[in-house]
């Protein structure tokens, strides 16, 4: 561990650039699926444990399309539309029935959905690790100490574009306003003529589409396997808990923060601890929240 | 009265059932072996390779006259169940094979993990099991008496890579080694063999990272490797480890002169990352160019040609199928040597086997692992082909890679 710290700050500080870049790439992907989760959680109070599996599903759809040599921009469009429709169907079949139930029902139901998706993907695509190799050039700098594959740059740009679109959509469009209104007070929204059932369906489908977009990016820059969803679920939960619901800039910030934290932990403690990093952040945030809220807490007599 | 009559009828049925079960292993002129194998789930691909290897051997042996015991010739057949790649299911099915189907001789499942789940069951009932796909060293430290494996154990997988690195210089202790291993039992075994060798030569381990089970990114390990410039990088994390490593070695333009990893073939790194995988060293249990042969299957090349003819879909035959065939062959030899169907007599015959096969020599240690066959090392060439590397002189060093 001491060796690794020395390496970072004394022997080869240049590799910090590589790690920061990796962290940013990771964070961009996390931020997308985390924002989807924050929406669903905030608007419908559904904690979607199948979030990571939606991401992987998007990845496999992208894989199937790319093997049919569809160009990347179309892959993103097709995958997000397919996932949107899929999300809508899941809402109608399942989520609609559990939305008024307590928390554990939503956890159990979405956990079941997660298992189902894993097994179906395993049946269709097989258990092998797969990836989309776009054969794009890799840029390097500082005597090959820092390498940046163009696939990661493209995915960062795409994540940025999608994030901007989402922000504008939520702020400006009627549907975005309806979603925000429903999140604030579903009953009042209903009184004012908003079809909250439709808003819920749209929100869930929108989340699935965001996950699908994240999945496309994952399959371009890393590898996918039917059972990898859980790591993405854990990361998105950590990000949303750290950032709080309904706060988009915070979610994006937390996404990048956790991405960087993960990479530095991996560098200093070893790659195996990278997966543990977001969980430890989650724990720290919960402890800190507990302490800071204690000040405001009063005894109810 | 009525109840008693039912009870009597039930008793008679039970007795018939038991009698039926007890003779199910050898009925008429057929000897039935049992196997729980992964035909669905995460091991499905390799499970199928294994099953095809078993079936091919059974077919060849039967066509050549079968197994001769007590002057009579018997045909072999295998009863399969799909264990869905889950250890608990595998153990259940092994029990079902033995107790309900009356199987007295078993062939192994696919993977060390599944074998670990099934071995205690076959051991409990005293059913001999010849397995071909569980390489973990920990299988052979439990004192199992009825478990035999035709393949080399996992600590031998990458140890020869260290030998080759040592041969690349006059002073082996100057070699810097980078290790990246997953934390599962198989990879930890592979690591133990490598670490023994490293200590033997007095080499220096400069990176020793454990990889997570859900491995999709090992860029931090590779970043370190770039900064510290090791002489050899060793990776083991099943197919996903090989795929991730090859992908990121390519992306990060890693130019370490020697890179060795397990599961290159399974992850098809030579097809997916032809540039980066040029020069990778990959261990294998068996090569079709091996100069070993037997009376049943002929040479390694002949077995290979025969298997390809039976399954034209393979462009190159996985070693999993070859070793599966070898396991069936061990059964034939054991029945004939024991000249009996008594489980313990057959078990002792297996333990005493010493034979040359197309798959290599087979001789079991007291713990049941095959100690007569070495592990082989192959190197991926610029054109994506694998060539056998027996000593350092056969190998391309440093690897010729041009990003």
Beta strands in A92-165, from DSSP E residues, in sequence order: 138-141, 146-149
Question: Which residues are within 8 A (CB) of A300 and not within 5 positions of it... i.e. 6 or more apart?
Answer: none
Instruction: Give the SS3 label for residue B278.
Output: coil
Contact: A272, B210; criterion CB under 8 Å: yes
Is pLDDT above 90 for A80? Answer: yes
Is the confidence at residue A198, as pLDDT, over 90? yes
A45 φψ region: left (φ > 0), alpha (ψ -120 to 50), beta (else): left
Count of alpha carbons within 13 angstroms of residue A116, beta-carbon side: 10
Element (H, E) at B119: helix B112-124
Residues B358, B382: Cα–Cα separation, whole Å: 29
Residue B24: predicted pLDDT: 53
pLDDT profile of chain B (403 residues), mean per 10: 54 47 66 93 86 96 93 94 92 95 94 93 95 91 94 91 91 93 88 93 92 84 90 90 90 91 86 88 90 92 94 87 95 94 93 94 93 90 88 86 78
Residue B273's pLDDT is what?
A: 87
**CA B189: distance to chain centroid?**
14
- Residue A28: its chain B contacts at CB < 8 A? none
Stated pTM of the model: 0.80
Here the tokens at position A40 are 């669903």
pLDDT at residue B384, rounded to an integer: 85
Given CB atoms, is A263 within the 8 Å cutoff of chain B? yes
Question: Residues 14..53 of B with a Cβ closer than 8 Å to A: which?
Answer: 40-45
CB B256 within 8 A of CB B240: no
- Per-residue pLDDT, A274: 85
Domains and CATH numbers, chain A: 2-290 (1.10.3470)
Separation in Å, CA A171 to CA A102, A165, A176, A295, B300: 30, 10, 6, 34, 69
* pLDDT value of position B5: 58
pLDDT higher than threshold 80 for residue A248? no
Nearest chain A CA: its distance from B40 CA (Å)? 8
A171 Cβ partners below 8 Å, 6+ apart? none
Q: Which CATH code is given to the segment(s) B156-284+377-394?
A: 3.40.50.2300
Cis peptide before B398 (omega within 30 of 0): yes
pLDDT at B19: 43
For chain B, the domains span 22-152+289-372, 156-284+377-394
Looking at residue B11, what is its pLDDT?
52
Query: Which architecture characterizes domain B22-152+289-372 according to CATH?
Result: 3-Layer(aba) Sandwich (3.40)
pLDDT of A132-173, one tens digit each? 887 788 888 877 788 888 888 888 998 889 888 988 998 899
Q: What is the pLDDT of residue B46?
A: 86
Whose structure tokens read 């595998």?
B90
Pairs of residues, one from chain A and one from chain B, whose beta carbons lie less than 8 Å apart = 113
Of A108-112, A123-127, A278-282, B394-398, the range with the highest mean pLDDT is A108-112
**CB spacing of B216 vs A228 below 8 angstroms:** yes
- Minimal C-alpha gap between B247 and chain A (Å): 8
ipTM over cut 0.95: no
Q: 3-state DSSP call for residue B182?
A: strand
User: Alpha-carbon distance A164 to A25, whole Å?
Assistant: 17
B237-291 pLDDT, tens digit each: 888 889 899 999 988 889 899 999 998 887 888 888 888 889 999 999 999 888 8
3-state secondary structure A250-294: HHHHHHHHHHHHHHHHHHHHCHHHHCHHHHHHHHHHHHHHHHHHH
Q: Which two tokens stand for residue B190?
A: 């592979």
Give yes or no on whether B22-152+289-372 and B156-284+377-394 have one common fold. yes
DSSP letters for B198-252: HHHHT-EEEEEEEEPSS-S--HHHHHHHHHH--SEEEEESHHHHHHHHHHHHHHT
pLDDT digits (tens, 9 = 90+) for B129-156: 999 999 988 899 999 999 999 999 988 9
pLDDT value, residue A7 = 74
């Amino acid at each position: 561990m001491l060796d690794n710290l020395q390496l970072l700050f004394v022997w080869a500080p240049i590799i910090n650039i590589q790690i920061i870049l990796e962290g940013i790439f990771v964070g961009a992907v996390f931020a997308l699926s985390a924002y989807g989760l924050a929406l669903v959680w905030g608007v419908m109070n559904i904690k979607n444990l199948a979030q990571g599996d939606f991401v992987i599903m998007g990845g496999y759809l992208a894989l199937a399309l790319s093997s049919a040599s569809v160009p990347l921009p179309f892959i993103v469009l097709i995958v997000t539309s397919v996932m949107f429709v899929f999300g809508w169907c899941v809402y109608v079949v399942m989520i609609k029935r559990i939305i008024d139930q307590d928390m554990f029902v939503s956890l159990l139901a979405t956990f079941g959905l997660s298992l189902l998706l894993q097994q179906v993907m395993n049946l269709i695509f097989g258990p092998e690790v797969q990836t989309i190799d776009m054969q794009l050039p890799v840029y390097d700098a500082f005597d090959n100490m820092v390498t940046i594959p163009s696939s990661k740059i493209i995915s960062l740009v795409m994540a940025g574009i999608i994030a901007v679109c989402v922000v504008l959509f939520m702020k400006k469009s009627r549907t975005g306003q309806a979603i925000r209104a429903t999140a604030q007070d579903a009953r009042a929204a209903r009184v004012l003529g908003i079809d909250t059932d439709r808003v819920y369906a749209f929100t869930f489908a929108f989340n699935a589409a965001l996950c699908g977009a994240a999945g496309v990016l994952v399959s371009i820059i890393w590898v996918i396997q039917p059972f990898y969803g859980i790591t993405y679920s854990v990361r998105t939960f950590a990000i949303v808990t750290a950032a709080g619901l309904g706060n988009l800039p915070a979610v994006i910030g937390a996404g990048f923060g956790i991405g960087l934290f993960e990479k530095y932990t991996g560098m200093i403690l070893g790659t195996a601890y990278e997966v543990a990093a977001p969980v430890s952040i989650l724990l720290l945030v919960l402890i800190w929240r507990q302490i800071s809220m204690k000040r405001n807490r009063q005894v109810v007599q | 009265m009525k109840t008693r009559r039912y009870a009597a009828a039930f008793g008679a049925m039970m007795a018939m059932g038991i009698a039926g079960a007890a003779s199910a292993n050898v009925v008429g002129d057929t000897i039935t072996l049992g196997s729980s194998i992964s035909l669905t789930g995460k091991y499905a691909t390799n499970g199928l390779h294994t099953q095809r290897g078993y079936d091919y051997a059974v077919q060849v042996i039967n066509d050549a006259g079968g197994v001769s015991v007590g002057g009579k010739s018997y045909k072999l057949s295998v009863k399969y169940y799909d264990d869905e790649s889950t250890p608990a299911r595998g153990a259940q099915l092994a029990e079902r094979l033995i107790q309900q189907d009356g199987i007295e001789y078993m062939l192994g499942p696919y993977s060390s993990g599944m074998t670990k789940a099934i071995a205690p069951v076959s051991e409990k009932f005293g059913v001999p099991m010849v397995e071909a796909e569980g390489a973990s060293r920990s299988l052979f430290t439990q004192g199992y008496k009825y478990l035999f494996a035709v393949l080399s154990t996992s600590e031998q997988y990458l140890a020869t890579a260290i030998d080759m690195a040592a041969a690349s210089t006059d002073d082996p202790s100057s070699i810097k080694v980078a290790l990246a291993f997953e934390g599962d039992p198989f990879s930890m075994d592979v690591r133990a063999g490598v670490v023994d060798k490293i200590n033997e030569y007095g080499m220096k381990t400069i990176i020793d990272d454990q990889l997570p089970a859900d491995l999709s990114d090992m860029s931090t390990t590779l970043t370190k490797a770039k900064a510290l410039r090791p002489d050899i990088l060793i990776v083991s994390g099943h197919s996903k480890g090989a795929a991730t490593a090859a992908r990121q070695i390519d992306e990060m333009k890693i130019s370490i002169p020697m890179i060795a990893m397990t599961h290159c073939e399974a992850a098809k790194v030579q097809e997916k990352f032809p540039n980066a995988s040029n020069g990778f060293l990959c261990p294998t249990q068996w090569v079709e160019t091996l100069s070993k042969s037997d009376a049943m299957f002929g040479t390694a090349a002949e077995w290979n040609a025969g298997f390809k003819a039976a399954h034209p879909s393979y462009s190159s035959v996985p070693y999993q199928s070859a070793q599966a065939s070898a396991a069936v062959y061990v059964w034939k030899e054991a029945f004939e040597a024991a000249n009996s169907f008594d489980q313990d007599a057959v078990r002792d015959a297996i333990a005493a086997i010493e034979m040359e096969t197309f798959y290599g020599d087979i001789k079991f240690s007291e713990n049941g692992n095959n100690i007569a066959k070495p592990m082989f090392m192959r190197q991926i060439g610029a054109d994506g082909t694998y060539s056998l590397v027996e000593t350092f002189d056969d190998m391309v060093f440093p690897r010729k890679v041009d990003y």
